[in-house]
Amino acid sequence: MRESHELALAAAMRWVESAHEAVGGDGVSAGYDLNQGWLPTYPETSGYLIPTMLRAACILKQPELAATAARIGDWLLGVQHADGAFPGGTGTKGDPVIFDVGQILLGLTALWQETGEERLLASAVRAGDWLCAAQEESGAWRSHLGYPNTYSSRVTWAVAQLWSVTGDQALLDCAHRSLDWILDRVGPDGWIDRMAFSAEHTPWTHTIGYALRGLLRSADLVGGERGERCVRAAEECALRIAGLETDLLPLVPGEIGPGYAANAGYACLTGDAQMAIVWLDLADRRGDEALRRRCVDMVDRLVQLQVSQPLEPAAVGAIPGSWPLTGGFEPLAFPAWSAKFFADAILELGEREDRVW
């Protein structure tokens, strides 16, 4: 890992630790807002930060990050509902949200794989059972807005990951149903329908990144012809986005609609980091040096946009939601999930730097 990237990763992780401390150690704050200050704890993103923190702890040789991840896991177990679900949205009083439970499941499974603590696996199994029960017969999952969406492929990933460690056939069947429903939403040009929060929204690159990454990871877990179709679907959509010509390069427009229409003049930096992760995955599969270079350029630009000046000390190390800051995704704010995917992109790139391309 190049030095500039390692320094950026360390700064992002220091900011995540600050976001954890800002809510009294109860999970991780949803982020820092220039108008509101530190936001409430967010169970969903607290959960999917766990794998990032565990990886960063190893790369940075900072075991305290792994200890914080374990504390977050303990807190999540304490707020889990009796039926296996978790509170949705920020705070701990919200009704369960399918996507949120899926992201927490990813964190619990990773923490169990790291520690071997059976209580973590038991919690993950209850969450997986809840997700299976919540799935519609068609294979779809509805978001908190009541809209069946394809970015819930990240929920599918979580269920398939749990199947891979438990061997529970019901989990695999659930993942298969979900993937079949998502693949039915792929159009002739490779555009995947329903990647937004609702029919009225244009997908952010954030939710597009969710959809594509979930398909790729699910494909590797379930394998077979279904897995190959998932890879082809993610690849076609991701490469079309990589080829967009805009004034934002190497970033991409924050909102992209059907036909790969760029619908925004700002960048969603969370989505940019996620797209870099997807492209790196595909560059590996394709042996594509040009696509890998595209990812390096993207990550380098994100490093430039990471907050380093102490004009607002609480934001140092964070990644803005949008660029410019007033853009349409989390304006004037620094979401925890921006830092998470920024760190993931650096970690993914770092793993590949010593490979021969």
> What is the secondary structure of 166-222 as a DSSP string?
H--HHHHHHHHHHHHHHHTTB-TTSPBS--SSSTTSPPBHHHHHHHHHHHHHHHHHH
pTM of the prediction?
0.97
Report d(CA 299, CA 276) in Å as an integer: 7
Tokens of 34: 């220039």
Torsion of CA 170, 171, 177, 182, to 10 degrees: 170
Continuous H helices in the chain = 3-22, 43-60, 63-79, 98-115, 118-134, 153-166, 169-183, 205-222, 224-242, 269-286, 289-305, 336-352
State the residue for tokens 């394809």: 150
pLDDT along the chain (357 residues), means of 10: 96 98 97 98 98 98 98 98 97 96 98 97 98 97 88 98 98 98 98 96 97 98 98 98 94 97 96 98 96 96 95 95 98 98 97 66
Instruction: Return d(Cα 122, Cα 29) in angstroms, integer.
Output: 26
Cβ count within 10 A of residue 64? 12
The pLDDT of residue 155 is: 98
- Written as one letter, the residue type at 120 is L
Confidence at residue 310, expressed as pLDDT on a 0 to 100 scale? 85
Predicted pLDDT of residue 221? 98
Predicted local confidence at residue 355, as pLDDT: 61
As given in the structure block, the two tokens for residue 253 are 């427009």
